[in-house]
Amino acid sequence: MRFWRVGVTSGVPSENKTKHYESLYQIKIRRTRSTATGRSRKSHYQIGSHFGRGQGEFGQPCRLAYPKGKTFFARFSFGLFKPKDKILGADFSGIVEAVGNNVTDFKVGDRVFGESLQGGAFAEYICAPAHACAIMPEEANFTEMACVPIAGLTALQALTTHGKLKTGESVFINGSSGGVGHFAVQIAKAHGAKVTAICSSKSVDFVKAVGADKVLAYDQHDIHQHQGAYDLVVDTHGNLSYDDYKRFGQRGVMVGFTTMGHMFSVLLKKAFGKFNLTQFTAQANTADLETLASLIQKGKIKVYIEKTYPYEKIPEAIGYIEAMHTKGKVAMVWKE
């Protein structure tokens, strides 16, 4: 269903969003000044690679809502015949230009990053709910911070909110080299966990460099025969069976899933079984974004950006991330 993708990614009309600046709890964020080049002004919006979030998420919801006909059911929430929201993009970073009357935590000129629940981040200006924004770390640049919100929140909430990770525990992370995975490895290490990570053999060095203690390649090791023992199993790729979780985990968190059939099969078995397995959708909130900002500030998390695209090449960028073999993140940078 690529026609959706083409339709929603062409052009980035900024005026539309500025007109919608009406909520008392919103902040308006403008395109950001490029600290890297010192030239003119740029905005940076993450492209990323997960699905299932707000309609506007560029690479991510794009992959659920608009790609290749596998996910028709998603149209019931994202728009049956065409996307409800014409401007994609959920993750962003930028400079606050105006705040609603009831916003107290942000002021004009603040450098912020966050997630727009309604989409619209692929524009020069965006109105975002204040509760889904946080102040950027001082040293961080806009491009890297635009890559953090959804993937970082998902990794953090999978491990801590839902996985209840404790210091010294062992974690198994399936799908460890992508957006969510590379953050999950680093956040788990920051929590003092021992990390075993799964990725393709071509990504093994990358995942080791990110900090995993042990890395297994799924193209050389049959994960469904794996015999390890871990306190927590986090599956970002989404191909672990209920029996896999049970066989080598004490508790599990299902972040992604490969097919609807697979997801229902796991959740059905969970409903009748006793294994402690959680499936969730990440929620944006300032507190968790601040936790991520603090980990970045302390050097505990590094954002790895595999590719950066100018905004005119958004369709190309989506095509790239659709393959689901991104190393770290993909970013979109606003044109000069």
Ligand X SMILES: NC(=O)c1ccc[n+]([C@@H]2O[C@H](COP(=O)([O-])OP(=O)(O)OC[C@H]3O[C@@H](n4cnc5c(N)ncnc54)[C@H](OP(=O)(O)O)[C@@H]3O)[C@@H](O)[C@H]2O)c1
# chain residues binding ligand X, by CB under 6 A = 33
46 with 150: CB under 8 angstroms?
Answer: yes
* CA–CA distance, 152 with 257 (Å, rounded to integer): 18
Fill in the amino acid letter for 176. S
Site string for ligand X, 37-76 (x = CB under 6 A): -----------xxxxx------------------------
334 with 146: CB under 8 angstroms?
Answer: no
| The two three-digit tokens of residue 115, written as one number | 């997630």
* CA–CA distance, 6 with 225 (Å, rounded to integer): 41
* CA–CA distance, 135 with 129 (Å, rounded to integer): 13
The DSSP letter of residue 301 is: -
Sole window of 7-15, 36-44, 311-319, 323-331 interacting with ligand X (rule: CB under 6 A): 323-331
CB-based burial label for 319 (10 Å; 0-12, 13-18, 19+): middle
* CA–CA distance, 4 with 227 (Å, rounded to integer): 43
Interacting residue with ligand X among 282, 292, 303, 314 (CB under 6 A): 282
Of 218 and 242, which has the nearer Cβ to ligand X?
218
Sole window of 3-11, 65-73, 110-118, 232-240 interacting with ligand X (rule: CB under 6 A): 232-240
285 with 131: CB under 8 angstroms?
Answer: yes
Of 42 and 50, which has the nearer Cβ to ligand X?
50
Q: How far is CA 275 from CA 157, 160, 215, 260, in A?
A: 19, 18, 25, 20
Of 54 and 120, which has the nearer Cβ to ligand X?
54
- 149 phi and psi, to 5 degrees? -50, -70
Q: Which of residues 190-219 bind ligand X (CB under 6 A)?
A: 198-200, 203, 218
Query: Closest distance between ligand X and the C-beta of residue 222, in Å?
Result: 11
Of 33 and 262, which has the nearer Cβ to ligand X?
262
Site string for ligand X, 236-255 (x = CB under 6 A): xxxx---------------x
Q: Is 281 in the site for ligand X (CB under 6 A)?
A: yes
* CA–CA distance, 300 with 183 (Å, rounded to integer): 10
Q: Is 26 in the site for ligand X (CB under 6 A)?
A: no
Q: Is 149 in the site for ligand X (CB under 6 A)?
A: no
Residue nearest to ligand X (CB): 178
Sole window of 4-12, 235-243, 264-272, 287-295 interacting with ligand X (rule: CB under 6 A): 235-243
Write out the residues near ligand X by the rule CB under 6 A.
48-52, 150-151, 154, 174-175, 177-181, 198-200, 203, 218, 236-239, 255-256, 280-282, 321, 324-326
